[in-house]
Structure 1
Amino acid sequence: MENNELKALELLFQRPLEPVFTSRDNGKAAFDVPDTFYTDRFSGVEVELQSRFGDDVDVRIPIRDIAKPNLDFAKQIGLKENFYIFIDKHKRIAGQLIKLFLDAKDRSTFISLAVYVKDRVNPMLFQYCYSIAVAHRKDTSMVPIPPVAEIFPANFIEPSLFKDARTEGSLIKNSGDRMTIDMSQNFTASDREEEQRLAYFREDIGVNMHHWHWHLVYPGEGPDEVVRKDRRGELFYYMHHQIIARYNVDRFCNGLSRARLLNNLREAIPEGYFPKILSSLNNRTFPARIAGQSLRNVERVDNTIEITEVERWADRIHQAIDQGYVVDRNNKQIPLDEVRGIDILGDLIEASALTVNRQLYGNLHNMGHNLISLAHDPDARFREDISVMGDVTTAMRDPIFYRWHSFIDQIFTKFKDLLPAYDNNQLGFNGVSVDSIAVQIRAKGTTPNTLATYWQNSDIDIGAGLDFGPNGAIYARYTHLQYAPFSYDIRVTNSGGNRKGTCRIFICPKADERGAPLRMNEIKNMAIELDKFTVTLNPGENTIRRRSSESSVTIPFERSFRRTIPSDQQTAENQAALSEFRFCGCGWPDHMLLPKGTPSGMEFDLYCMISDYTGDEVIQTNDGPSICGDAESFCGLKDKLYPDKRSMGFPFDRPISSGNLGEFTNQYPNMAITPIKIVFSNKHINRQKNRD
């Protein structure tokens, strides 16, 4: 029974647009559903359908009948509409469906409920809520969540590839003999558009899947046990802050200035964007935004937004920061202090279910996304859908995402800059000296402190998302940035007894796109976290070595693009690894760990700090083993407290009075910097199967 249940949970991720009774798992498995589960469209032909799709499969999974839930609330989103978590109505409906799934008394009931619901609600709504339920139910912890690019590949891949994919799958029956289909690296614009220099960043499949999976792990609406997680609001701030820092540094690498804040909603938007990807549900392309488009009030059914209201929300949040407190629904003042202030602001600005007062402070982040995503057709007179900015799987493709989030980040930065600077006790670590830090590519004949990036060609399987198409694996090959694996070598002297510290590694830009030196305030806001880990220091000299692949920020390629292994092929070893995906699938893609660099070598400062663990340690209330530690900096730990007591981004999240990074570092023996270069080579290398 357990194997059948695991198989059932796995199959519900496949072929999201096909009716639940069709065969899955390459035609090897099908659900045996009660007659009452068939929708009206197929009522009366149940026997024929069961025979057609169930007779030739290897595994038939019986689904037991249950009391039918009332799904009227979910049917407010049409089956062919797109589902968007930035829309309040959609978010509330998703919260109700998540609760329905979580309330199922046992795993068997949950499976029957999901099978019944699947064909009766919007497919993207179903997959979002089903994924969250699988990720948060205690009895489904062994079930991996497939990459969203394999469930809805149309949201990530150039449409012309699907014709080739279906042709290849239909004519070549043996999936091992099928040709890999190449994706164009630059299909959204020509090099006449300067923003296209960053297409490799914005349109990277792993980057966009990270954004989707983070919001899966940290949904804004739903039952309290799903939404209320340790330092959730602060994570919203820090994860997006790091994205903006990384994006701006990559702009420098490509000769472009920082993304301009979208702080004037009445000014025409000079950046156009033509996404050229399909919506999975209605087979239409996501709408474009022409250059020079102006924002207007949105006046649609169940989705109205006034620009003046968004401006008013921003003003009230700025006022709260200036006053040092927010006002909750009961008119109580809640201080924005050094410990909880950023977490409160994060929940308030995103406007998750945890916001202290949505009536007063509104829904700034989400409504900004909506306002921008409907600029092309705000009153629906042309019946155009929302653009990529309105979909969490595609929003990061659009240059305007980074302008809007630069504005959001500036609000958080204002709060941080009003906090007192860290003092010597917080920054120092008495008796500990970081004598040096160096990096070296893990290959013979390489130069110390010179890192390398290049283009890599990798394959992803889109077969499971080709509804009503051929069975089996069909691979698409896409080109992405990659770096040569490297190691850190850190030399530390400890003049005291045995003790612990936290090693914090950042890479800091030295100059902007013109080569002009950056001020300390600019450097701290663009410091990119590369890694953070606990170290044990013995008396005397210590040597710390760490691989780039062990980063606390990233997840390896295999987790970003893990192809689900059918349950009948799982071993104890790979099942344990797969069980981590549902949470460890959250993380920045490893191949984007480093900025791109330049052909001549872009200069950076590599910064290392070892902080006193007595100020870092978090006493966990759940003392069970951690499911994973990959990407804990951006995603935390499942069912545990965030594993660092310090503020996220420490020590660069507060004002620094020093004139430059060297001056700041020289004040504290437990810090060190080393100048490094990142050299980009415009060559393409095919990805090896096992990359360490």
Structure 2
Amino acid sequence: MSTTKENLTLLFDRPLEPVFMAKGPKKTVFEVTEEYFNVNPRYKSKAPHVRSRFAEDDEERIVVKKTSIPSLGECLELERDENFSLFIPKHRDIAAKLIDIFMDIPNVDDLLSTAVCVRDCVNPYLFNYALSVAMLHRPDTQDTELPPFITSFPNKFVDSKVFAKAREQAMMNPGSSREPIELPQTASDLEVEHRLAYFREDFGINLHHWHWHLVYPIKATKKIVDKDRRGELFYYMHQQIIARYNYERLCNDLKRTKKLDWTEEIEEAYFPKLDTSSNSKSYPARVVNQRIRDLNRKEAKQDVEDLKRWSDQIFAAIHQGSVIDERGCIINLTESRGIDILGNMVEPSILSPNRALYGELHNMGHDFIAYIHDPDNRHLESFGVMGDTATAMRDPVFYRWHSYIDDIFQEYKATLPRYSESQLNYPGITVSEIEVQSHRSPNNTFNTFWQQSEVDLSAGMDFHAEGSVLVRFTHLQHEPFTFKISVNNQSNCNKQGTCRIFLAPKYDETGKPWLFRDQKIMFIELDKFTVDLKRGQNIITRAHHESTVTIPFEKTFRKIQAGGSAPFNFCGCGWPDHMLIPKGTTEGFASQLFVMISNYEDDKVTQDLTGVCNDAGSYCGIKDKLYPDRRAMGYPFDRLPRKGVDTLQEFLTPNMKVQDVTIKFNDRMSAA
């Protein structure tokens, strides 16, 4: 018998089918109450007919407890066949209201009853988002494993051609004999930007972005939004995305992405090949050389000029070293808190000190681009992929827009005092040697290749015959590897340190060695962990799968109810392990591996992490805990270097070491 919390996850199954139809592998049926039909009157006469038509012998039935349904009010204003966007202020307001309803319900049984009744009368994307946020943050449900978003709404990840093939296959073959459907390409090799499709359209990367915004919603009750160093994490997580994307571009013989100038035409086109399952419309494309224009739509009215006004105010605050809050009080952008304030202000979340003054720069930028094809709704078209956290990273312009946003943060970081040698060094600690070991390659070589994997999308195939719908997709993968680090503790006692591992390209796009001021923002974080250092020589070994940046492949594509309930918390949030290492090149891409051992006494955050899921704390933080590193995110590369430092070698102190490494891409296909 399933638990109430497990039954809640069934509400994510086949989101467009009514809740009284069979859900999940056990063909579970919810026996709905009169309250359900009060808010879903269209099903009152149809339910018995639908149930008898689709009934199965092996059903598990759940009697839904009677409960009083709170007034849904504005939650019903978003039509069920509309698309939903966290970047649209009205949609955020509606989502915050529904999250509040779910959060305020006193116990999990009443939550299930309310969610069952509400599910089929509100927008399905809105329902999924609001219930997911609530379940992540309610003490009585936060240990429940949420189904991956791709299994509920595969249309946001998979070419629409796949679904036509799946329906044909379902009619012709019983479930056990269906062959996986190959995922087609979205563009030809004539488009140079398609060289990066494996990155931009990777399921795991897009799920990471979607899940991060579940953990860190823009608007909800303050106790949900106001997490430790939330604004700083908005900056750092997106900075790392841009660094990783630019790394991949260099591996594919492309220049780093050019930051977006919204006064100019956008050169890149993007044709998503995705449908919105709620109304069977395609996500609109963006053709070449389009320009953003003033928005005049019911859900979004804004002038392009506002972007400049907000941007000017933000840059003025950076150079004044302070912001003005809504009461007219001055808040200093201090060395420790400034980046956090700025992150909440640029995004912004409800934590912005003054939304009227500093505006909606990041969020509204997404909207302007998302509606570039129909800014005044004359063609009755919805927003493009930039309007959705699950699809935005597919579009090349996402990285151009976020390069502009990151430049704002880098402008602020340039105002901070530069780290002195004493702030970087760990007296008595020397990193003497670094080695990357992999049983299939020479030392100091990362090997990458193509891998084919399968995901079952049947839980998102509404009104579809029973059985698996397997989609076979190709993604980047790397061979397993281990870091071996030699550290000498020359002090007279045992020490603790934080081992920080980063990777960067050795040369820029012209083939020249980097100036450090440019290379520092190209470093991608690979791992960060605490080490015990006895006196004398220490050998540290660390396997790739232990990284505090990533979540395992199995968690990205875990099967619903495969193992029942498991401690979930924030563990669904994290960079996908299969994308930890950039692609490299067939001849070998020259890179530099950086290792630093910093003083744990300066790094430590005293808190109990026993039993806490912290798989990917670097990019996602830790549930109900402080960020697990007192240093600035991105340290030691988050500030300009001290005077006289022009190269990475000049930056090093004895507790740091750089090793030349190679990323070698093998253009072969491997099965998962």
TM-score by length of 1: 0.94
Within 5 Å, give how 1:32-43 maps onto structure 2.
32-38=31-37, 39-43=40-44
Q: What is the alpha-carbon distance in structure 2 between the residues aligned to residue 132 and residue 607 of structure 1?
A: 37
**Paired position in structure 2 for 1:31:** 30
**Paired position in structure 1 for 2:135:** 134
1:313-334 residue CA offsets vs partner (Å, 9 max, x unmatched): 0110000000000000011110
1:438 and 2:439 matched: no
1:651 and 2:647 matched: no
Q: Which residue identity is paired with 2:151? A: E
Query: Of residues 495, 499, 505 in structure 1, which corresponds to 2:501?
Result: 505
**Paired position in structure 1 for 2:444:** 449
Q: What is the alpha-carbon distance in structure 2 between the residues aligned to residue 89 and residue 555 of structure 1?
A: 33
**Paired position in structure 2 for 1:297:** 294
Q: What is the alpha-carbon distance in structure 2 between the residues aligned to residue 323 and residue 174 of structure 1?
A: 64
Q: Which residue identity is paired with 2:532? A: T
1:406 and 2:403 matched: yes
Deviation at 1:168, TM superposition (A): 2.6
**Paired position in structure 1 for 2:463:** 468
1:235 and 2:233 matched: yes
8 Å contact from structure 1 (residues 493, 541) kept in 2: yes
8 Å contact from structure 1 (residues 253, 513) kept in 2: no
Deviation at 1:598, TM superposition (A): 1.0
1:215-243 residue CA offsets vs partner (Å, 9 max, x unmatched): 01111110112111111101100000000
Q: What is the alpha-carbon distance in structure 1 between the residues aligned to residue 356 and residue 58 of structure 2?
A: 54
8 Å contact from structure 2 (residues 486, 540) kept in 1: yes
Aligned length: 667
**Paired position in structure 2 for 1:690:** none
Deviation at 1:471, TM superposition (A): 2.0
Deviation at 1:51, TM superposition (A): 4.9
Within 5 Å, give how 1:624-643 maps onto structure 2.
625-643=610-628
**Paired position in structure 1 for 2:103:** 102
Q: Which residue identity is paired with 1:520? A: F
Q: Which residue identity is paired with 2:11? A: L
Query: Of residues 516, 531, 534 in structure 2, which corresponds to 1:538?
Result: 534
8 Å contact from structure 2 (residues 243, 524) kept in 1: yes
- Counterpart of 2:140 in 1: which secondary structure? helix
Q: Which residue identity is paired with 1:598? A: T
The structure-2 alpha-carbon separation of the partners of 1:284 and 1:60, relative to structure 1 and needing over 3 Å to count, comes to same
- Counterpart of 1:235 in 2: which secondary structure? helix
Q: Which residue identity is paired with 2:91? A: H
1:382-416 residue CA offsets vs partner (Å, 9 max, x unmatched): 11110000111000000000000000000000100
**Paired position in structure 2 for 1:255:** 253
**Paired position in structure 1 for 2:18:** 19
1:629-684 residue CA offsets vs partner (Å, 9 max, x unmatched): 2111000111111000000000000111411111111xx11000000010111111
Q: What is the alpha-carbon distance in structure 1 between the residues aligned to residue 130 and residue 467 of structure 2?
A: 26
Deviation at 1:425, TM superposition (A): 2.4
1:548 and 2:541 matched: no
1:363-383 residue CA offsets vs partner (Å, 9 max, x unmatched): 000000000111111001011
- Counterpart of 2:275 in 1: which secondary structure? coil
The structure-2 alpha-carbon separation of the partners of 1:50 and 1:279, relative to structure 1 and needing over 3 Å to count, comes to closer
- Counterpart of 2:654 in 1: which secondary structure? coil
Q: What is the alpha-carbon distance in structure 1 between the residues aligned to residue 167 and residue 55 of structure 2?
A: 23
Q: Pairwise CA RMSD of aligned residues?
A: 1.4
**Paired position in structure 2 for 1:489:** 484
Q: Which residue identity is paired with 1:613? A: Y
**Paired position in structure 1 for 2:118:** 117
Deviating more after overlay: 280-289 vs 396-405: 280-289
Q: What is the alpha-carbon distance in structure 1 between the residues aligned to residue 349 and residue 431 of structure 2?
A: 41
Q: What is the alpha-carbon distance in structure 2 between the residues aligned to residue 57 and residue 141 of structure 1?
A: 30
- Counterpart of 1:583 in 2: which secondary structure? coil
Q: Which residue identity is paired with 2:481? A: F
Gaps of 5+ in 2: none
Q: What is the alpha-carbon distance in structure 1 between the residues aligned to residue 259 and residue 46 of structure 2?
A: 58
1:465-490 residue CA offsets vs partner (Å, 9 max, x unmatched): 00110223221010011111111000
Gaps of 5+ in 1: 688-692
**Paired position in structure 2 for 1:63:** 64
**Paired position in structure 2 for 1:427:** 424
Within 5 Å, give how 1:56-455 maps onto structure 2.
56-175=57-176, 177-184=177-184, 187-262=185-260, 264-443=261-440, 446-455=441-450
- Counterpart of 2:590 in 1: which secondary structure? strand
1:480 and 2:506 matched: no
Deviation at 1:64, TM superposition (A): 1.3
Q: What is the alpha-carbon distance in structure 1 between the residues aligned to residue 670 and residue 542 of structure 2?
A: 25
Deviation at 1:557, TM superposition (A): 0.5
8 Å contact from structure 1 (residues 500, 612) kept in 2: yes
**Paired position in structure 2 for 1:6:** 5
Deviation at 1:41, TM superposition (A): 1.0
Q: What is the alpha-carbon distance in structure 2 between the residues aligned to residue 309 and residue 322 of structure 1?
A: 20
Within 5 Å, give how 1:514-529 maps onto structure 2.
514-529=510-525
Deviation at 1:189, TM superposition (A): 1.6
8 Å contact from structure 2 (residues 35, 67) kept in 1: no
Q: What is the alpha-carbon distance in structure 1 between the residues aligned to residue 625 and residue 54 of structure 2?
A: 44
Deviation at 1:339, TM superposition (A): 0.4
- Counterpart of 1:140 in 2: which secondary structure? coil
Q: Which residue identity is paired with 1:337? A: T
- Counterpart of 1:91 in 2: which secondary structure? helix
Deviation at 1:441, TM superposition (A): 1.4
Q: Which residue identity is paired with 1:537? A: L
1:610 and 2:611 matched: no
The structure-2 alpha-carbon separation of the partners of 1:354 and 1:46, relative to structure 1 and needing over 3 Å to count, comes to same
Deviation at 1:249, TM superposition (A): 1.1
The structure-2 alpha-carbon separation of the partners of 1:174 and 1:265, relative to structure 1 and needing over 3 Å to count, comes to closer
8 Å contact from structure 1 (residues 296, 378) kept in 2: yes
Deviation at 1:302, TM superposition (A): 2.6
The structure-2 alpha-carbon separation of the partners of 1:324 and 1:552, relative to structure 1 and needing over 3 Å to count, comes to same
Q: What is the alpha-carbon distance in structure 1 between the residues aligned to residue 46 and residue 589 of structure 2?
A: 66
Q: What is the alpha-carbon distance in structure 1 between the residues aligned to residue 272 and residue 547 of structure 2?
A: 32
**Paired position in structure 2 for 1:579:** 567
**Paired position in structure 2 for 1:595:** 582
- Counterpart of 1:584 in 2: which secondary structure? coil
Deviating more after overlay: 158-167 vs 16-25: 158-167
1:83-121 residue CA offsets vs partner (Å, 9 max, x unmatched): 000000101110110010000010011001100110110
8 Å contact from structure 1 (residues 456, 686) kept in 2: yes
The structure-2 alpha-carbon separation of the partners of 1:6 and 1:171, relative to structure 1 and needing over 3 Å to count, comes to farther
- Counterpart of 1:435 in 2: which secondary structure? strand
Q: What is the alpha-carbon distance in structure 1 between the residues aligned to residue 538 and residue 197 of structure 2?
A: 42
Q: What is the alpha-carbon distance in structure 1 between the residues aligned to residue 554 and residue 84 of structure 2?
A: 28
Deviation at 1:613, TM superposition (A): 0.3
Q: What is the alpha-carbon distance in structure 1 between the residues aligned to residue 464 and residue 45 of structure 2?
A: 25
Q: What is the alpha-carbon distance in structure 2 between the residues aligned to residue 98 and residue 54 of structure 1?
A: 33
Q: What is the alpha-carbon distance in structure 1 between the residues aligned to residue 219 and residue 58 of structure 2?
A: 39
Q: What is the alpha-carbon distance in structure 2 between the residues aligned to residue 594 and residue 537 of structure 1?
A: 28
Identity %: 48
1:490-548 residue CA offsets vs partner (Å, 9 max, x unmatched): 00000121121000000021212231222111110111111100000011100000011
1:682 and 2:667 matched: yes
Deviation at 1:49, TM superposition (A): 4.7
1:258-313 residue CA offsets vs partner (Å, 9 max, x unmatched): 11111x21211111111111112111111111101111101001311211111100
8 Å contact from structure 2 (residues 186, 273) kept in 1: yes
Q: What is the alpha-carbon distance in structure 2 between the residues aligned to residue 485 and residue 624 of structure 1?
A: 27
8 Å contact from structure 1 (residues 275, 388) kept in 2: yes
